[in-house]
Chain A
Amino acid sequence: MNFFRLLGDLSHLASIFILLHKIQTTRSCRGISFKTQVLYVVVFVTRYLDLLTFQFHSIYNTVMKLFFIGSSIYILYLMRVRFRPTNDPSIDTFRIEYLLGPCAVLSLIFNYGYTWLEIPWSFSIFLESVAILPQLFMLQRTGEAETITTHYIAALGAYRALYIPNWIFRYFTEDNGVDAIAVVAGIVQTALYVDFGWIYFTKVLQGQKFELPA
């Protein structure tokens, strides 16, 4: 554990609390892509299958994994059951099969072993790197977003960005080389946030509304 990773994980935690806060205070999931949230459940469940082996890394690790799985499923419940009428599927039109298929193929080509833990792990790494796309696509379509929604996406972007210095730090302080799968997917994932991040920094953080140029 190092500073960047801890800060990244805390940022990830913060993003979930921001999302829950947004849904509960506005009593609405307007502006949130249900498809992205489904993808996150798939990501967490496929990545944390090692929970079933009971080979613990640390209490921190296990508690966080359980929290990410639990909270992501809870968010689906909020969107599909509790605040269902506020969820508008007609603007959430990204075809996620175009993400799931290629990620499945990639995980069969690039993995650390053909086992029931490694292939889903690899799949989850690839899928996470593109899981935000339906959300960004929705933002693109509506052309604007509630400020709190942009804080949620920004916190997710910060989490991914912070994992990069974490890997650089680990490369120099540990003796295990580079995890090419996580690093390449992580860089791709972070790059997807660049456009959004630019508008977030230049508009939202200056007190303006998040609006895309027409």
Chain B
Amino acid sequence: IATPDVHDEL
């Protein structure tokens, strides 16, 4: 499962 880089969102 891909772990998306959502940590670039606010």
Contacts and interface: CB of A to CB of B under 8 A. Distances in A.
A175 to B, nearest CB: 8
A61 B10 contact: yes
18 contacts: A5-B9, A12-B10, A57-B7, A57-B8, A64-B10, A65-B10, A112-B3, A121-B7, A163-B9, A166-B9, A170-B4, A175-B2, A176-B5, A177-B2, A177-B3, A177-B4, A179-B6, A181-B6
Contacts of B10: 9, 12, 61, 64-65, 68
Is chain A's interface secondary structure helix, strand, loop, or mixed overall? helix
A178 interface: yes
Contacts of A175: 2
Interface in A15-52: 50
Interface residues of A, number: 22
A68 B9 CA distance: 13
